[in-house]
Amino acid sequence: MKTYQELSREELLTLKSQLEKEFEEAKAKGLKLDMSRGKPAAAQLDMGMDIFDVLNPGSDMKSEDGFDVRNYGVLDGLTEAKRLMADIMGVPAENVIVCGNASLTIMYDTVSRSMTHGVMGSTPWCKLDKVKFLCPAPGYDRHFAITGHFGIEMISVPMTPAGPDMDVVERLVAEDESIKGIWCVPKYSNPQGYSYSDETVKRFANLKPAAEDFRIFWDNAYAIHHLYEDRQDEILEILSECEKAGNPDMVYEFCSTSKVSFSGAGIAAMASSKANLDFVRKSMTIQTIGYDKINQLRHVRYFKDINGIKAHMKKHADMLRPKFEAVLSVLDRELAGKEIGTWTRPNGGYFISFDAMEGCAKRIVAKCKEAGVILTGAGATFPYGIDPEDRNIRIAPSFPTPEEMAAATDLFVLCVKLVSVEKLLEKES
């Protein structure tokens, strides 16, 4: 079988005509599928509806410490909620603050606090001439949106299957005092599904940044989001590795139950050193009188402990796995060997990353939209929304059914083929 690059101009023109006909037929089907975000499907959300049964008007509304969760107080989270979130992140409960419903909010607040009040006594970032952040890319668009919102200069760092290119990270943070942080999704990264190697984690922990207020923003978004029982990625715990390396204050960890219980109605937490958390608590006393402790208690009584969480996540995996496999099956069948795209095969998380031929991603996404399938915008996985090679496309299989996912992927590969042929013909002309 020839690759597309090996086809003659005549063969490419014949193929283009055939693909255009198939594309018009696909448009006539009237597909309306949205794969732009990694949203849980309704069936996943339905699994947790009985969480509302654990608290009712007759329930004991006191925490294990005897605190009435309906009242003010306990600013940084219930003891039992700290323990639950600590077990998700693999850290001691005393290193955890439990906040509201979303880890993204905690990350935003952490950057905002650094801008206005500095980091543990350092100069507020807003008073500095230049503030920069490292952004492993492809990466999570909402991370980049936060730093972009505050006018922080974002520097792309190449991603590898073992994590960010640490040669680049080490060099940049050591030589530039204006670099104040780096975004990380260390397990089942968004969008590639990569997990950081032990060496990568240790190199992070042993960084020697020029800036004393440099922090690693470690987003455990998919820490427990495995797809397979027998293929589960595990990574070293960064907080303890930083302590071993003599850098106990260098990392902020974040996590939430947004894709465990309910998106937007879970609980979120932050883990860090005592010194970092004490500094955060000072702002919290001004920012809030307390987060939703009723929701914290509800989650603890429903899941009970980390084993309850893991059992629930297995149900999520059973629903997600067929969707991922439907996508990979179509990609393998239709595109393998054609040399017009490569894709990742993650063991967990919420995304598959697809790299098209250079200069094709935007056109593929536009073609899909024309035929009724909405994808994440091309370039969204890079700082400033600019993919310098216009190659990367994030596929989010979670929301549609497996059958819809297969139909959407059929359309996607058709668009990949058509745009690739057009690109090759342009090169020849």
Residue 228 CA to residue 324 CA, distance in Å, equals 11
Band of the pLDDT at 378, cuts 50, 70, 90? very high
Instruction: Give dist(CA 353, CA 391) in Å, integer.
Output: 10
Three-state DSSP state, 420: helix
With H, G, I as helix, E, B as strand and everything else as coil, classify residue 27: helix
Q: What pLDDT, on the 0 to 100 scale, is given for residue 38?
A: 85
Three-class secondary structure of residue 304 per DSSP: coil
What distance, in Å, lies between the first and last C-alpha atoms of the chain?
Answer: 24
Residue 142 near residue 111 (C-beta atoms within 8 A): no
Q: Where are the domains of the chain?
A: 4-44+310-428, 61-304
302-333 residue pLDDT tens? 999 999 999 999 999 999 999 999 999 999 99
**What CATH code is assigned to 4-44+310-428?**
3.90.1150.10
Q: Per-residue pLDDT averaged across 355-371, rounded?
A: 97
Please state, in angstroms and rounded to a whole number, the distance separating the CA atoms of residues 311 and 42: 19
- Least confident span in 35-39, 91-95, 381-385: 35-39
Task: Note the pLDDT of residue 400.
Answer: 87
Mean pLDDT of 57-73: 96
Q: Does domain 61-304 have CATH number 3.40.50.150?
A: no
- CA distance linking residue 302 with residue 261, whole number of Å: 10
Q: What is the pLDDT of residue 30?
A: 87
Closest to 206 in 3D by CA, of 179, 173, 245, 164: 245
**C-alpha distances out from residue 216 to 68, 135, 179, 186, Å:** 36, 11, 11, 11
Contact 97, 77 (CB under 8 A): yes
What pLDDT, on a 0 to 100 scale, did the predictor assign at position 429? 67
Percent pLDDT > 90 in the chain is 94
> Mean pLDDT, the chain, as a whole number?
96
Q: What is the pLDDT of residue 324?
A: 95
Sign of the torsion formed by the C-alpha atoms of 89, 92, 95 and 100? positive
Beta strand 373-375 pairing with 33-35: parallel
Q: pTM of the entire structure?
A: 0.95
Q: Measure CA 161 to chain center.
A: 15
138 cis-preceded (ω within 30 degrees of 0)? yes
390-402 pLDDT, tens digit per residue, is 999 999 999 888 8
Tell me the per-residue pLDDT of 71-101, one tens digit each, with 9 for 90 and over.
999 999 999 999 999 999 999 999 999 999 9
Please tell me the predicted confidence (pLDDT) of residue 270: 98
pLDDT reading at 350 higher than 80: yes
Distance between CA atoms of residues 270 and 2, nearest Å: 52
Mean of pLDDT values over 141-169: 98
Q: What is the pLDDT of residues 242-285, one digit of tens each?
A: 999 999 999 999 999 999 999 989 999 999 999 999 999 999 99
pLDDT of 27 higher than 80: yes
Q: What is the pLDDT of residue 405?
A: 87
Whole-Å CA distances, 55 to 62, 240, 264: 11, 36, 19
pLDDT of residue 31: 85
